[in-house]
């Protein structure tokens, strides 16, 4: 499947000008191309990575993001995860889609209630292709209010997770508390994969450094929107990169147009 960079133009300069404009996105050799396309700036960051339909829905015909995605989208997802220390998700995504622990990054799940019904967090062993005889596990952290620790521990028996109890505000973990906890765990390069509520709270708090948005070329009616928040807010972003595949899906990389809020 051909993947083409349509923005910026090849002669626009920048750190990617020496790379070819198009590649076979499913060819193993394109991995380095993608790693350079998505390489973040040095230091700590919060990158939100999500997929949506043309009308901004986060679920396809099967009620999950799987039917919006493609092999190429999942390839890009894997590259973005590889560049991060931790993948951050809300418990709602765990309940809706299961979720298997990433192969190359830790996983952190945020829950206010401790409800992790439907999780697949026990499925986190994977094998190194270079050493198939070995297996290793990525860390799994459950971030929750102190009052929810018992429920989380009961829900994750056998999953070898680490529960991280945090102070809450009216039963909810604040975005700044979540980021501070992950940095304290030595995981400063964070990619949040939603869902709409968790990602929306980070945008409302003006803490998102970069937004990677895959857009599937389909309209799906009746589902949830891409972002949800009880708090109004606005953050300016500028387009850094736009990729297009030969099926019409786009892969945009937006970066904030000013420093993040403290």
Question: pLDDT-based confidence at 202, cuts 50/70/90?
Answer: very high
Mean pLDDT on 2-12? 84
Question: pLDDT-based confidence at 126, cuts 50/70/90?
Answer: very low
| DSSP label at residue 201 | H
Q: Return the minimum-mean-pLDDT range out of 4-13, 177-186, 227-236.
A: 4-13
191, 81 Cβ separation under 8 angstroms: yes
* High-pLDDT (> 70) share of the chain, %: 90
What's the confidence (pLDDT) of residue 217?
A: 96
3-state helix, strand, coil in the chain (%, to 5): 25, 30, 45
Q: pLDDT for 86-107, tens place per residue?
A: 999 998 888 887 777 888 999 9
What's the confidence (pLDDT) of residue 63?
A: 84
Higher pLDDT, 133 or 57: 57
Q: pLDDT for 214-235, tens place per residue?
A: 999 999 998 889 999 878 878 8
**Distance between the two ends of the chain, CA-based, in angstroms?**
41
Q: How far is CA 237 from the centre of its chain?
A: 18
Residue in 50, 131, 61, 62 with CA at minimum distance from that of residue 88 = 50
| DSSP label at residue 39 | P
| DSSP label at residue 199 | H
Give all domains of the chain, ordered by start, each with its CATH number: 2-9+20-119+136-256 (3.40.430.10)
> What six digits make up the tokens of 248?
């019409």
Sheet holding 140-145, edge to edge: 22-24, 2-7, 237-245, 250-256, 210-215, 45-52, 189-192, 86-90, 106-110, 140-145, 162-166
pLDDT exceeds 70 at position 259: no
28, 73 Cβ separation under 8 angstroms: no
105, 61 Cβ separation under 8 angstroms: no
> What six digits make up the tokens of 235?
């953050």
Average pLDDT, the chain: 88
Question: pLDDT-based confidence at 122, cuts 50/70/90?
Answer: low
Q: For residue 72, what is the enclosing H or E element?
A: helix 71-82
pLDDT exceeds 50 at position 128: no
């Amino acid at each position: 499947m051909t993947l083409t960079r349509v923005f910026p133009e090849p002669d626009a300069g920048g750190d990617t000008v020496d790379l070819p404009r198009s590649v076979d996105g499913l060819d193993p050799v394109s991995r380095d191309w993608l790693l350079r396309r998505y390489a973040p700036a040095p230091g700590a960051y919060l990158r939100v990575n999500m997929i949506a339909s043309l009308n901004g829905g986060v679920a396809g015909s099967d009620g999950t993001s799987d039917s919006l995605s493609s092999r190429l989208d999942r390839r890009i997802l894997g590259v973005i995860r590889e560049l991060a220390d931790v993948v951050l998700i809300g418990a709602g995504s765990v309940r809706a889609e299961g979720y298997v622990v990433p192969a190359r990054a830790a996983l952190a799940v945020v829950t206010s209630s401790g409800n992790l019904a439907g999780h697949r967090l026990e499925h986190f062993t994977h094998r190194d292709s270079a050493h198939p005889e070995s297996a290793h596990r990525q860390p799994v952290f459950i971030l929750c209010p102190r009052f929810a620790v018992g429920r989380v521990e009961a829900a994750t028996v056998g999953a070898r997770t680490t529960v991280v109890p945090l102070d809450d505000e009216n039963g909810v973990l604040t975005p700044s508390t979540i980021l501070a906890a992950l940095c304290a765990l030595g995981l400063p390069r964070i990619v949040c994969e939603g869902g709409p509520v968790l990602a929306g709270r980070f945008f409302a708090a003006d803490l998102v450094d970069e937004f990677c948005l895959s857009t599937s070329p389909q309209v799906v009616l009746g589902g949830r929107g891409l972002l949800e928040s009880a708090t109004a807010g606005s953050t300016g972003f500028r387009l850094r990169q736009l990729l297009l595949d030969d099926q019409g899906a786009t892969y945009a990389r937006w970066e904030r147009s000013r420093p993040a809020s403290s």
